[in-house]
């Protein structure tokens, strides 16, 4: 198993401080504290053996929670580390100009000499996505198959198609629902120094009339044909199948054993239909949370102060994230309606096998069951940076690096030798 530390990131502060200093995300001193803390945590993650550190993409979060990691911050963290990979899980494709994103990701891959990866996401937060995608009339994904939701999906898939064309070796032409290259497509783009480009540029880039007819994107990624690809926090079978066909690692949020095994099998079978023959769990990732504590009360305290209490109960729950933790009996108790806030509990997360908490042996037991169920290739730990005290964050990470990570690294190595 390979390990990702997933940071939001978040400006370090208590809830009382966030209220007193609102909007705390406008304060330069607090931004500097966050940058310092994230850097220290990333360096420690590298030291204890993590393979990668990842951020989501989010913007306009005046509360200072889940600010997101732009490419500049990814590069900064990469420059402060030596081995660990950095990347987003993931860039919200409908909010990006595809050519600009292809160039941005290739630059990061070149500057880090291949220490990068690219995560993809559709985007679910209206506050910023509706603003940044307004020119192509895209709104946030809702998952309800409505027209706005389907339009978001089409924009996502078109941007993904363009990324792959832009990362490829050949200049290209493209005409889709949202973008066309060159622009205007029918005539091409006027280019006065066409003699220069015809002699030294990409073959076919300009025509005899001095117009750009094909788009040649540079730089190309350091890794060929492109950096590894991840899909952000998948729950649907259709997304898992699409990822399998496209050789993308889905980070699965659904956590009950029967759900995880079902989706891992779907990925394996669909990949086989696409000509990739994989073992169960190969090419699949999961997102989970961990709290090391010496009592159930201590687990509750850490969860309440951390991402369960702040992230899931105060924020993500309003976007339907608790639906990932439904049980069959919930269809009887809450038919055709989301789980109410009274059901947003630590106990539900533990029972759903999403949260591994307690002693080292308790966390190991949960990890062992997950490995036995689906043996995912990637494990992402959604980490409480910015919410728990830095000393506590380091204690949690060091405990994982000492007692948990080596066990599953060793199991992975033994399995790999067995396959050989």
What confidence tier does 416 reach under pLDDT thresholds 50, 70, 90?
A: low
Q: What is the dihedral of CA 331, 334, 336, 342, to 10 degrees?
A: -120
Q: Give the contacts of 386 (CB within 8 A, at least 6 positions apart).
A: 8, 9, 10, 11, 12, 13, 34, 37, 64, 65
> Residue 412: pLDDT band by 50, 70, 90 thresholds?
low
* Alpha-carbon gap, residue 362 to 359, rounded angstroms: 5
- Note the CATH architecture for domain 2-419: Alpha-Beta Barrel (3.20)
**Is 292 exposed, middle or buried, given 0-12, 13-18 or 19+ CB atoms closer than 10 A?**
buried
Start-to-end Cα distance in the chain = 17
Are the beta carbons of 282 and 377 closer than 8 angstroms? yes
pLDDT of residue 413: 62
Q: Which residue has the tokens 């054993």?
A: 257
Instruction: Please report how the helices 147-167 and 98-111 are oriented relative to each other, as an axis angle in degrees rounded to 10.
Output: 50
The rounded distance, in Å, linking the Cα atoms of 180 and 106 is 21
Mind listing the pLDDT tens digit for each residue in 46-80? 999 999 999 999 999 999 999 988 999 999 999 99
Nearest CA to 281 out of 303, 295, 260 is that of: 260
Q: How far is 186 from 218, CA to CA, in rounded Å?
A: 24
What residue spans define the domains of the chain?
Answer: 2-419
Q: Within 13 Å, how many C-alpha atoms sit on residue 120's CB side? A: 27
Using the predicted structure, report yes or no on whether residue 343 has a pLDDT greater than 70: yes
CB 230 within 8 A of CB 89: yes
Is the confidence at residue 419, as pLDDT, over 50?
A: no
In angstroms, the CA 182 to CA 214 distance is 6
The answer to whether 2 and 379 have CB atoms below 8 angstroms apart is: yes
Confidence of residue 233 (pLDDT cuts 50, 70, 90): confident
The DSSP string of 363-395 is HHHHHHHHHHHH--SEEEEE--TTTS-HHHHHH
Residue pair 133/187 in contact by the 8 Å Cβ criterion: no
């Amino acid at each position: 198993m390979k390990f990702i530390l997933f940071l939001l990131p978040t400006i370090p502060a208590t809830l009382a401080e966030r209220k007193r200093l609102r909007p705390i995300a406008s304060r330069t001193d607090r931004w500097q504290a966050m940058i310092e803390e994230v850097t220290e945590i990333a360096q420690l993650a590298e030291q204890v053996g993590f393979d990668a550190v990842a951020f989501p993409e989010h913007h306009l979060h005046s509360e200072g929670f889940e600010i997101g990691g732009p490419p500049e911050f990814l590069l900064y963290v990469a420059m402060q580390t030596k081995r660990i990979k950095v990347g987003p899980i993931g860039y919200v494709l409908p909010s990006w100009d595809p050519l600009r994103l292809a160039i941005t990701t290739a630059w990061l891959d070149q500057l880090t000499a291949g220490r990068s990866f690219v995560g993809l996401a559709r985007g679910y937060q209206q506050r910023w996505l509706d603003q940044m995608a307004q020119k192509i009339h895209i709104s946030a994904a809702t998952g309800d198959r409505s027209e706005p939701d389907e339009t978001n999906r089409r924009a996502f898939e078109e941007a993904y198609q363009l990324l792959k064309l832009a990362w490829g070796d050949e200049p290209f032409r493209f005409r889709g629902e949202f973008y066309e290259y060159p622009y205007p497509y029918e005539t091409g783009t006027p280019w006065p120094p066409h003699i220069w480009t015809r002699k030294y540029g990409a073959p076919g880039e300009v025509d005899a009339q001095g117009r750009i007819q094909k788009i040649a994107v540079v730089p190309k990624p350091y890794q060929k044909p492109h950096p590894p690809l991840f899909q952000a926090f998948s729950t649907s079978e259709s997304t898992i199948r699409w990822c399998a066909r496209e050789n993308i690692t889905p980070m699965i949020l659904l956590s009950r054993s029967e759900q995880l095994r079902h989706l891992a099998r779907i990925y394996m079978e669909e990949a086989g239909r696409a000509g990739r023959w994989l073992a169960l769990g190969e090419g699949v990732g999961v997102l989970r949370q961990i709290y090391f504590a010496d009592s159930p009360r201590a687990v509750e305290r850490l969860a309440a102060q951390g991402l369960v209490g702040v992230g899931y109960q105060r924020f993500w729950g309003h976007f339907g994230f608790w639906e990932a933790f439904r049980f069959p009996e919930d269809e009887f108790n809450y038919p055709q309606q989301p789980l109410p806030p009274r059901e947003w509990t630590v106990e539900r997360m533990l029972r759903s096998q999403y949260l591994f908490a307690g002693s080292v042996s308790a966390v190991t037991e949960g990890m062992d069951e997950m490995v036995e169920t689906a043996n995912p290739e990637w494990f992402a730990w959604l980490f409480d940076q910015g919410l728990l005290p830095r000393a506590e964050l380091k204690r949690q990470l060091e405990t994982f690096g000492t007692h948990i990570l080596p066990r599953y690294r060793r199991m992975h190595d033994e399995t790999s030798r067995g396959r050989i």
